[in-house]
Amino acid sequence: MGNFTRNTFNKLKHYVGVRLQQGVPILDADWNEQEDIRKHELQTFLKWFVGNGVPQGNDGFRITQIAGGGVGTIVLTSNKKIIDLSSIVIDLEASTAAEALGFGPDNYSASRLGSSPARLVGNLSEPFTLEEGMKLVMSTDGQDKEEVTFQASDFKDIRAAVSAEVVTAINNTVENFTASVGQGNDFIITGGTEDQP
């Protein structure tokens, strides 16, 4: 244990620094208080802007792997021409095909602010077990919902549908977003709260 003078730091005083005076000896207490102020500022900054933990019910930007490494998944991308805030939301209550395509409570919406549109990737890879009349209902960029009803005639075998067949069926029906086949290297980042992913 070292030989230190008393601890003079008090965060309730809101000091921002220690000033040195001419002709007054510099004590270790001055240096220690300056370091305590700096450390407190850093901890406060990180707490305010980064956070000091994850609230209950929040995934805190959890990164999860997509089934099959993202190869053969269904990728949905907003068709918004002017990129600002874009979003894709699957109506899970109305979508009987969502779960079969890899979209569920942890993966039903995506939003993006910036130079590229929102993109939502399913967490299952082909083959997909669909049934005649299953539906996928989505809203893109706050527009009216679009509904895709899968028909057996759209597939070689609807109970073992491949990604390309699902993508074609979706793209032949919708206007506000585009479906494509996942090529790999995809992952899911989740965050937000239980009611706002």
Task: State pLDDT tens for residues 66-118.
Answer: 666 778 889 999 988 776 788 999 999 999 999 999 999 888 998 888 778 88
Determine, yes or no, domain membership for 1.
no
Question: In this structure, are 71 and 161 located in the same domain?
Answer: yes
The pTM is what?
0.64
pLDDT at residue 197 tops 60: no
pLDDT at residue 33 tops 70: yes
The pLDDT, as a whole number, for residue 114 is 76
Average pLDDT (32-55) is 82
The pLDDT, as a whole number, for residue 190 is 65
Using a pLDDT cut of 70, give the percent of the chain over it. 83
Question: In this structure, are 67 and 40 located in the same domain?
Answer: no
Lookup: tokens for 13: 């005083």
Question: In this structure, are 17 and 84 located in the same domain?
Answer: no
The pLDDT, as a whole number, for residue 51 is 66
**How many structural domains are present in the chain?**
2
Average pLDDT (47-74) is 70
pLDDT at residue 138 tops 70: yes
Determine, yes or no, domain membership for 117.
yes
Question: In this structure, are 36 and 103 located in the same domain?
Answer: no
pLDDT at residue 195 tops 50: no
Q: What's the chain's average pLDDT?
A: 85
Determine, yes or no, domain membership for 195.
no
Percent helix, strand and coil across the chain, each to the nearest 5 = 25, 25, 50
Question: In this structure, are 124 and 146 located in the same domain?
Answer: yes
The pLDDT, as a whole number, for residue 53 is 63
Question: In this structure, are 136 and 170 located in the same domain?
Answer: yes
Question: In this structure, are 75 and 120 located in the same domain?
Answer: yes
The pLDDT, as a whole number, for residue 85 is 84
The pLDDT, as a whole number, for residue 131 is 95
Contact between residue 88 and residue 98 where contact means Cβ atoms under 8 Å apart: no
Question: In this structure, are 90 and 126 located in the same domain?
Answer: yes
Helix locations, the chain, DSSP H: 28-49, 163-171
CA distances from 100 to 11, 69, 112, 154 (A): 55, 17, 25, 16
Question: In this structure, are 91 and 123 located in the same domain?
Answer: yes
Using a pLDDT cut of 90, give the percent of the chain over it. 42
Q: Give the structural domain span for 89.
A: 62-190
Average pLDDT (125-139) is 94
